[in-house]
Every structure is written in structure tokens, then in C-alpha cells.
């Protein structure tokens, strides 16, 4: 279905979430900008540990606070300076959205102001080399391992703690058309802009050019035609050692001579089962899918997939606070980003989307839809955490323990 027209001049700048901004006033903290996510639609159509900051987490002692103070990034591409290399291990990324011309100048190009140059609060360091092979670029620190395969759409293929990968295996499907499945990828929203299915290959599965800049993995796609627009995608991945997290920045570059309107969309595929939960609200518009009924408890949606056999069902909702979490066994996976107003979500979509696939579940987030000027760029950032779930934690629907665990993880 074609997207309905919306009067926008630019995608809002994406800075720090309100929760993080409050803490920045209270103590010197530097946090990289936080980003967003995606949806898999089937071929038919759609698809504590100890609290961070208290020490004793993964690593060897030392407080796990975020080191290195840094100024908040401004809009229009000004980068905040990172923490001192070797002292805080902080990561800096602009996080701002730039919609003006200028040959694709990026307002949110991530910097590396100390991301892996030194040890974080928990004494963590990056294991070198980051480039292990043409198909394996790795951020490895402590028991954490985050791996990107540039040869397959620069998708994230591993996000693990102590050897347990939370992402589903990457493989080609056997249907028609054959597409790449598994791991975590990136699309443009709305889905109607690329004719529903399959995903745009240059963005979803074709090789990206990859480099390592300092301690940041940077990948760039080939040019792609999406509808009437010409675009290319850039992604950057860096480790915040003090926060024991991975920061991801997605950039949509408009290579055409006319404005183009898109929203960013991150799609992470996990094994079926587990509990997914997020603070949410109703779908942002009547066209968004709400095929199954997650349980709403005190403003938080809970979906227990452990007993579900449904396939090709999807929920689209508002995201409210800018986080979504998934518990699988003794691990919890949390994504956080700057919350998006419901009015800025692409037609027929949601800020948080959950898709039940055949053998996988998709935990997706979307950023704001907006017009990108000719030769302009929009930027969206998300932060990923994985933590152990303490023994005895209540992981049932409506669990206050799970909400407290997320609150302890997020800054």
C-alpha cells in the first residue's frame, strides 16, 4: 500500500534518550546515540546481573560505569568529543540527523573517541584484530562477542555472551524467491516503498565495503534504487567498553537529485520461544498489523512465545520509552534508542514490531519517517546489551523482576 503523504521537512535529530539525559546532569557520562530496528515479512506479505555501574559484571572487577565525560552532540553533524583514550573507553557518535545537501555529509557519523583505545570501567579491552577475515569483523571484549559479515549484507551474525549466540543462524531460504535469513539486518520503511517482497538486495544481502577506523567497524553498501529514489546505506559498529554494550549507527544516504522519504528499520532474528516485552501503546494507525495479542500489563506488552506455534503473525505498536527486551534461557537482550513520536512512524508500521516466523522470531524497531534532502543523510542509532538473568528471576508475563532488570541495565 503506498505511503500516505506527510508534511515533514526533516528527520528529527536523534540525541540522548530522556533517561540518559537525566543521568548526564547527575554524573559525567558519555553515551553513544541509540538506534532502531526492523521486520521480516514472509514471502506472502509481512513477516541481575549486578546492575551496570556497580561492578562485578562481566570482566574482572572494577566498576562498570561509563567513563570519560563528553559533550552532548549537537545537531547538523557536530560530533561530541569522546572520553580520553585509555581512561574511559567511551564511544562517541554524533547521532544527529542532517538533511541538507553537501555530497552526503553525515550528521551522525560515529566517532571513535576512545571506544576501544583503553580499558573500560570493568577492565575490558577489545581483542585484536577486529578484522578476522573478509566475512568476519568482530568486536570481542570480555565474554562478549559481536560479529558482522560484510559479505552478506553487513548483517550482524553473532551477538553472544559466554559463547551463547542470541541471533538465529544466517542461511538462504528454500522458498521462491530465495532470500537471506537469520542474523540482524537493515531495511528501509515503509515496506511498500520497495514493493513488499523480497527486500532490496543491495541493502539486505549483497556485499558491503568494510573498513576498520580505529576501533569502529564501518561498512558501506552499493547504490540501490528504492522506488524512484537512489540511496546507499552506511553502518558503523563500536563497543562501549565501560557500558558493556555495542553501539550501532545506520545512515541512509539520498544519492538522487530530489528529496526522498524513508524511515530506518532494524530487523533482528532470534530463535522461537522466550519472552519479549516492551513499554508500548496501540498501533500508530489503523493499517498497522496486530495479528496476535501480547498481554498489556501496566503499560508494558509481554509476549510469551514459548507455547506459540503461530507463523506469519505480526504486531506493530508504539514504543513509548525507546526499549525492547527479549529473555531466552538465562540471557536477556535489550535494545534501546531515542523514542519516536507515533505520528512520525511510517504508515502501516510501528516503532516496535514483533514477527512470528517459521523457526525464528523478529524483534524489530523503526525510527522516524522523514524527508531526506537530495544528497542528504538521515541517521538512526541503537544500543545493544546482553546480560545474564540472575537465578530466581521471575520471567513470567507481567514480571516486575524483568522490568527491574531492564531498569538496572539501561543508563
Domain ranges of the chain: 18-409
Please, which pLDDT band fits residue 57 given cuts at 50, 70 and 90? Answer: very low
Q: How far apart are CA 258 and CA 254, in angstroms?
A: 8
Q: Structurally, what CATH architecture does the domain formed by 18-409 represent? A: Distorted Sandwich (2.70)
pLDDT tens-place string over residues 59-77: 343 333 433 333 333 333 3
Q: What percentage of the chain reaches a pLDDT higher than 90?
A: 69
Burial class (CB in 10 A: 0-12, 13-18, 19+), 195: exposed
Whether residue 91 contacts residue 82, with contact meaning beta carbons closer than 8 Å, is answered with: yes
355, containing H or E segment = strand 352-356
Q: How far apart are CA 356 and CA 359, in angstroms?
A: 8
pLDDT tens-place string over residues 277-301: 999 999 999 999 999 999 999 999 9
**Distance (Å) of CA 194 to CA 25, 33, 234, 301, 395:** 43, 28, 18, 30, 38
Whether residue 381 contacts residue 14, with contact meaning beta carbons closer than 8 Å, is answered with: yes
Segment among 30-44, 117-131, 172-186, 354-368 with least mean pLDDT: 30-44
3-state secondary structure of 409: helix
Average pLDDT over the chain reads: 79
Enumerate the H helices of 205-355 as residue ranges: none
Whether residue 277 contacts residue 296, with contact meaning beta carbons closer than 8 Å, is answered with: no
**Cβ neighbours of 54 (radius 10 Å):** 13
Q: Is the pLDDT of residue 93 over 50?
A: no
More confident residue, 165 or 22: 165
Q: Assign 3-class secondary structure to 136-164.
A: EEEEEECCEEEEEECCCCCEEEEEEECCE
Q: How far apart are CA 313 and CA 353, in angstroms?
A: 11
pLDDT tens-place string over residues 140-160: 999 999 999 999 999 999 999
- E strand intervals along 167-322: 171-172, 180-181, 184-189, 209-213, 216-220, 224-226, 229-240, 245-254, 260-271, 275-279, 295-297, 300-304, 313-317
Amino acid at each position: 500500500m503506498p505511503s500516505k503523504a506527510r508534511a515533514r521537512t526533516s528527520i528529527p535529530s536523534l540525541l540522548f534518550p530522556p533517561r540518559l539525559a537525566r543521568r548526564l546532569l547527575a554524573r559525567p557520562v558519555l553515551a553513544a546515540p541509540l538506534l532502531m530496528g526492523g521486520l521480516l515479512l514472509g514471502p506472502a506479505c509481512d513477516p541481575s546481573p549486578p546492575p551496570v555501574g556497580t561492578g562485578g559484571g562481566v570482566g574482572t572487577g572494577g566498576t562498570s560505569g561509563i567513563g570519560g565525560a563528553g559533550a552532548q552532540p549537537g545537531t547538523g553533524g557536530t560530533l561530541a568529543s569522546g572520553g580520553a583514550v585509555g581512561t574511559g573507553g567511551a564511544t562517541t557518535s554524533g547521532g544527529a540527523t542532517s538533511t541538507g545537501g553537501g555530497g552526503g555529509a553525515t550528521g551522525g557519523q560515529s566517532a571513535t573517541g576512545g571506544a576501544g583505545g583503553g580499558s573500560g570501567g570493568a577492565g575490558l579491552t577489545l581483542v585484536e584484530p577486529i578484522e578476522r577475515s573478509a566475512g568476519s569483523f568482530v568486536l570481542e571484549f570480555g565474554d562478549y562477542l559481536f560479529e558482522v559479515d560484510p559479505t552478506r549484507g553487513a548483517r550482524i551474525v553473532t551477538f553472544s555472551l559466554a559463547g551463547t549466540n542470541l541471533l538465529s543462524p544466517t542461511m538462504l531460504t528454500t522458498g521462491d524467491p530465495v532470500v537471506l535469513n537469520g542474523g540482524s539486518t537493515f531495511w528501509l520503511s515503509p515496506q511498500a516503498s520497495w514493493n513488499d517482497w523480497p527486500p532490496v538486495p543491495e541493502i539486505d544481502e549483497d556485499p558491503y565495503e568494510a573498513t576498520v577506523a580505529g576501533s569502529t567497524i564501518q561498512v558501506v553498501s552499493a547504490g540501490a534504487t528504492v522506488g524512484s529514489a537512489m540511496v546507499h546505506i552506511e553502518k558503523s559498529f563500536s563497543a562501549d567498553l565501560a557500558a558493556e554494550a555495542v553501539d550501532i549507527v545506520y545512515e541512509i544516504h539520498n544519492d538522487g537529485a530530489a528529496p526522498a522519504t524513508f524511515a530506518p528499520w532494524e530487523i533482528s532474528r532470534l530463535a522461537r520461544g522466550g519472552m519479549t516485552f516492551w513499554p508500548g501503546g496501540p498501533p500508530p494507525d489503523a493499517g498497522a498489523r496486530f495479528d496476535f495479542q501480547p498481554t498489556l500489563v501496566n503499560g508494558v506488552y509481554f509476549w510469551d512465545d514459548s507455547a506459540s506455534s503461530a507463523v506469519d503473525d505480526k504486531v506493530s505498536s508504539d514504543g513509548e520509552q525507546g526499549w525492547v527486551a527479549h529473555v531466552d534461557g538465562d540471557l536477556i537482550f535489550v535494545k534501546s534508542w531515542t523514542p519516536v513520536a507515533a505520528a512520525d512512524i511510517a504508515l502501516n508500521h510501528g516503532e516496535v514490531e514483533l514477527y512470528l516466523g517459521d523457526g525464528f522470531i523478529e524483534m524489530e524497531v523503526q525510527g522516524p519517517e522523514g524527508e531526506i534532502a537530495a544528497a542528504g543523510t538521515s541517521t538512526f542509532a541503537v544500543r545493544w546489551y546482553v546480560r545474564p538473568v540472575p537465578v530466581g528471576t521471575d520471567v513470567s508475563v507481567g514480571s516486575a523482576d524483568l522490568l527491574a532488570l531492564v531498569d538496572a541495565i539501561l543508563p
